[in-house]
Structure 1
Amino acid sequence: MPCERTNWRVVYLMGVFSLIQNTQYSIYLTSMFSYLKKLDSTATESQFGWIMATSSLGHCIGCFVLGWWNSRTNRSAPPMHCGFLLMLASNLVYLLVDSVPPTWVAHIMMLSRLLGGFGMGNSSPMRTCASLHSTASDRSKAMASISGGRSVGTVVGPGLQLMFLPLGEVGFVILPGILSIHSNNAPAFLGIVLTMVGFVSLIVLFEEEIAEESDKKAITDLESNYTTIKDEYPSSDIVAMLICMLTRFVQNFMQISVETLAPAILMMMYFQTRQEAVASMATTYLTTGLIATVLYLLIIFTKLSTVVRDKIFNSLVLILFVCHLLATYSWQFYSDYVLDVEFSNETLIGCDEEHFTWCSNLTIAPEWTFYVGYILSFGLFMPFINVANATLYSKLLNPDCQGTQQSLYDISNTTARIFAPVFITLIYSAYGPRRAWEFLCILLLFTTFLWIIFDKRLVPLKPIQKQMFDNDGFEQEKSSKTKLVS
């Protein structure tokens, strides 16, 4: 039954749930690599890439399974309960990393991230629930609440690592010989708290509106007795849809690639210790998240969204991402080299010339460009391309049946999280940061080129009015028809 009035309590609650799940899921990002190296000195960047990819694979599977469950039962609460329980299990498994042999560490982290990915499948029932509890005119703001919660949680989560740095790498003992809390596993404890808050709030605060059988029968009777002048839509432009999905994939591929390599780059290029690298990135993430939060709030509650031009902003932000990469590239004219400081096996500061053959002539870009470029790209520019691309993509589709196409759009984001850590760490390990940056530039420029070439096809889908007939076969006047809103 069409929603006659937006239930903002449910919509905002879904936005809060989105914020909670993405915060607890991403809070590990700044400390996981250094924690892995601390517990297993033989661990490689490629192993870390596989750990990150496993979580995204779980996310893809979780989206499909929990979304299918939601569709089959027409209820959002049960799959969301399951999602929160899977997140809880993920955080509990992460606490075991301290007590397993070094050779098991990467596998336990991978299991934890896989379970967390399954739980992240909650995004499908959350989006469905927000859609069902909002009117068509309020749908964009409802979706912005979900997207804003997801994006802000993704960048704020890693910044919360600053809270745990005073604990140090030793921390204090909770259960002697079994469990202790320190700066590396404290994110799991906070994740448990956040997940429990979400789970309890879902039970206490969430009231799902379910159509009764009498309502369904009334709708059926109404549709059988009245006919409409129907807005018939042509088939969606597949090329235009693919370009929007590719843009979603590439923008997230770049962000995840930079986030994955950031700890290693700070330790190698800027000679920071594990703790210093964690603190630097946590501060950067927190600043980025605050800027993104303000922008999303302005887009949701002000008229800022009216100045966002879909096609222009997509192309413009992609070019700005390229500028970010060029500004942080290790140009040959820089005078400082990574081998200016001798590599230390204890602190892992500097470039390991025995392990990486590309260390010999690698220069260092100014450190400030790394932080400023990250904050501008993912705090200031990313929210605009998120809104512009998602808005245009929704306009390319038939408004009455977007479920499957929207799930594909969501999966295009998740697949970037699968492939980015693996490919970028393989390129980095074999050829160094220069080739990694060049690869990202090529992806961004290729996508921008597609926006220019297919500009005329990237336009909203327009309906074709079709005259319908009553059950008695006689054509009715348009003014006498009742138009049913689906």
Structure 2
Amino acid sequence: MAQVTHVHKKYDTTHSLSDWKNIYIVSVFAFLDAFQFAFFVWTFWPYVQQLDPTISASFVGLIMAVSGVGEAVAAPVLGWWMNKTGMVVPPILASIVLTVIGNVMYITLNAWPVHLRSTGLLVSRFLNGAGSGNRGCYLAYIAAASDTSDRAKSMGMSGGGALIGLNVGPAIQIMFTWIGDGWNLGFMQLSMYTAPAILALVINAACVLILLFLLDDNIDRFNPEDADTNSALSIAAANDSDLERNQVETNRLDVIAVTVCMTTRAARMFMTANVESIGAPFSELMFNLDNKEALTYNSAMQGVLGSLTVVMFFVYSMTPYTKWVSERLNCYVAMVFLLIFHLITMSWPFLPGHLESCDRFMGNGTHGWDWCTSLKPINMWVYYVSYALVYGIGLPCLNNSLQSLYSMVLGKGRQGLMQGVNQAVGCISRILGPIVMSTSFSSYGPQVNWLIEIGLISIFIVMWTGTYRRLVPGGYVVKKRVIQLAGKGIANPVDSGDSDSYDSKSTISEILPGETLEQELERINRKLSEISQKSGKENQTTL
């Protein structure tokens, strides 16, 4: 008797079971949510100086870190809420409420007493950070709504949408620079710094409408229990076979693979934190720009970066790129280019010239950056062009491929909690990154920041080199039926020998060395087709 394993067609990667309508809706929401969150990247530093000129760069780093604390606290809680209820809309709506409260506080800070403004900034950024803790929820929804064969594409759409929002969001500031210091409305100062926050409130309202009226909730509908129906093979062999009970086998998670994915995301966010916390003062210092010029240049650069991110979004969602290049290779190459960016934009001691802007930042009682005289200038165009290319192309590749790989490592099912934990781990960078980077910038200058990032990227490149073969999809559930082929004379389809023994048993579900889940399922389907043909021929011969 030959025992063969039939994998249900639900788990056959040749059939796409992805719910594209809801994947598109979630991707639009991901874009809008990240878009409004990123409005404050380039305006935050000058807005803080307007609110209270005594606030230092180190305290700005602390404020940014508090945003990360809010996200780290909220992400696992929202993910647990989603796992508990199987619903994604309620936790995301709660996150939007937190964001709205934070934005309202932010735009009214000019009306607060000066000594309370720093506290108001801390609270508003904490609430905004907590509001951004919904990422794990919608990624878990995407993982449930997408078939394994479509995972990279669907994750690329949602993650790409979010990344487009993060990159294009800061560029929106260029639309409001004409307002300048604006007008005092009593309860708030309508200025080029607060106008984006008002637009963010409008976007928050639009997100609520999208979730309530367009998105189909309840993630469990994507994983219904299998009906115990006969397969094509069991029908073909109905006269001489017995259909046994379904069997469920779960591949154990590779803890090392999960850890590498989580820590890599944390490192990526650490590098982003460097730009968020010191990007504006670095531009003013290195290229001798005033506040308005720095805002204009950085906003324009973000516009270019956002355009490149849009291009990468279409590459992931509209082309077979994800079939040509693996998630692992995308991540590895992106990290190499991030390393190159930091090497060519480092203020190396052997570079010629000196900074012309040092007098503005030394001994004025506010900054006291005495290390400025030891800095060497870098080329403005090298910095802005390489930044736009690496962060506009390399970072989307790293972000999209990494979250796709992490999702596939976790497998099907409710991923809300684990996605939330992944987001919380990444928030460690949002907490420590701004503090470390702004403090080192204030105390030692940008050279130390660059050296920290060069060392960090190098460590992760070495880590990926050592674990590259382990970073493959796993942690999946294989549901299968075991079919006993009892017809006399039917050879064991897996046994290479010529034995006609009835009770020889084997399986074709064992993964071969180096074989992925998709390759295994494809091989099983080919074997089943061969078995069905052989079974039919043997039945005809017997008759």
TM-score band (shorter)? Answer: 0.7 to 0.9
Aligned match of 1:362: 375
Matching residue's letter, 2:314? L
Q: Distance in 1 between matches of 2:87 and 2:450?
A: 44
Q: Say yes or no: does 1:245 pair with 2:226.
A: no
SS at match of 1:336: coil
Q: Distance in 2 between matches of 1:292 and 1:428?
A: 28
Matching residue's letter, 2:188? L
Selected match of 1:191 from 185, 189, 200 = 200
Q: 1:317 Cα shift?
A: 1.9
Instruction: Count residues with an aligned counterpart.
Output: 464
Aligned match of 2:35: 23
Q: Say yes or no: does 1:387 pair with 2:405.
A: no
SS at match of 1:184: coil
Residues 400-411 of structure 1 mapped to structure 2, 5 A cutoff? 403-411=416-424
Aligned match of 2:359: 343
Q: Distance in 1 between matches of 2:216 and 2:55?
A: 47
- Residues 428-462 of structure 1: CA distance to partner in whole angstroms, max 9, x if unpaired? 11111111111110001111111223334334449
Aligned match of 2:216: 207
SS at match of 2:189: strand
On the 8 A contact 1:229/1:478 being kept in 2, the answer is no
Aligned match of 1:424: 437
Q: Distance in 2 between matches of 1:382 and 1:285?
A: 13
Larger RCO (alpha carbons 8 Å, 6+ apart): 2
Matching residue's letter, 1:147? G
Change (3 A) 1:463 1:329: closer
- Residues 78-123 of structure 1: CA distance to partner in whole angstroms, max 9, x if unpaired? 2222122211111111112111233322221111111111211222
Q: Could you say what the CA RMSD is over the residues aligned between the two structures, in angstroms?
A: 3.3
Q: 1:52 Cα shift?
A: 0.8
Selected match of 1:153 from 137, 149, 165 = 165
Q: Distance in 2 between matches of 1:146 and 1:279?
A: 29
On the 8 A contact 2:136/2:416 being kept in 1, the answer is no
Aligned match of 1:452: 465
TM-score where L is the length of structure 1: 0.86
Q: Which deviates more, 311-320 or 269-278?
A: 311-320
Change (3 A) 1:461 1:118: closer
On the 8 A contact 1:6/1:138 being kept in 2, the answer is yes
Aligned match of 1:55: 67
Matching residue's letter, 2:67? S
Matching residue's letter, 2:183? F
Q: Distance in 1 between matches of 2:343 and 2:288?
A: 22
Q: Distance in 2 between matches of 1:304 and 1:237?
A: 26
Matching residue's letter, 1:97? L
Q: Distance in 1 between matches of 2:152 and 2:191?
A: 42
Q: Distance in 1 between matches of 2:337 and 2:151?
A: 29
Q: 1:468 Cα shift?
A: 7.6
SS at match of 1:54: helix
Residues 466-485 of structure 1 mapped to structure 2, 5 A cutoff? none
Change (3 A) 1:301 1:211: same
SS at match of 1:30: coil
- Residues 180-217 of structure 1: CA distance to partner in whole angstroms, max 9, x if unpaired? 311011111011111011112222323335779xx99x
TM-score where L is the length of structure 2: 0.77
Matching residue's letter, 1:187? P
Q: 1:39 Cα shift?
A: 1.9
Q: Distance in 1 between matches of 2:266 and 2:220?
A: 36
Q: Which deviates more, 382-391 or 404-413?
A: 404-413
On the 8 A contact 1:271/1:349 being kept in 2, the answer is no
Aligned match of 1:172: 183
Q: Distance in 1 between matches of 2:43 and 2:294?
A: 9
- Residues 58-83 of structure 1: CA distance to partner in whole angstroms, max 9, x if unpaired? 11222122222222222222222212
Aligned match of 2:452: 439
Q: Say yes or no: does 1:113 pair with 2:125.
A: yes
Q: 1:333 Cα shift?
A: 3.0
On the 8 A contact 2:37/2:128 being kept in 1, the answer is yes
Aligned match of 2:246: 228
- Residues 237-285 of structure 1: CA distance to partner in whole angstroms, max 9, x if unpaired? 3223222222211122112212321101111121111111111111111
Q: Distance in 2 between matches of 1:437 and 1:351?
A: 26
Q: Distance in 2 between matches of 1:263 and 1:87?
A: 24
Matching residue's letter, 2:245? T
On the 8 A contact 1:308/1:388 being kept in 2, the answer is no
Gaps of 5+ in 1: none
Q: Say yes or no: does 1:122 pair with 2:159.
A: no
Q: 1:140 Cα shift?
A: 3.4
Q: Say yes or no: does 1:301 pair with 2:318.
A: yes
Change (3 A) 1:93 1:467: closer
On the 8 A contact 2:284/2:291 being kept in 1, the answer is yes
Q: Percent identity?
A: 25
Change (3 A) 1:239 1:478: closer
Selected match of 1:371 from 380, 384, 388 = 384
Q: Which deviates more, 380-389 or 137-146?
A: 137-146
Q: Distance in 1 between matches of 2:20 and 2:174?
A: 33
Q: Distance in 1 between matches of 2:333 and 2:216?
A: 42
Change (3 A) 1:168 1:231: same
Aligned match of 1:263: 280
Q: Which deviates more, 65-74 or 406-415?
A: 406-415
Selected match of 1:280 from 297, 322, 325 = 297
Q: 1:463 Cα shift?
A: 7.7
On the 8 A contact 1:351/1:359 being kept in 2, the answer is no
Aligned match of 2:84: 72
On the 8 A contact 1:155/1:289 being kept in 2, the answer is yes
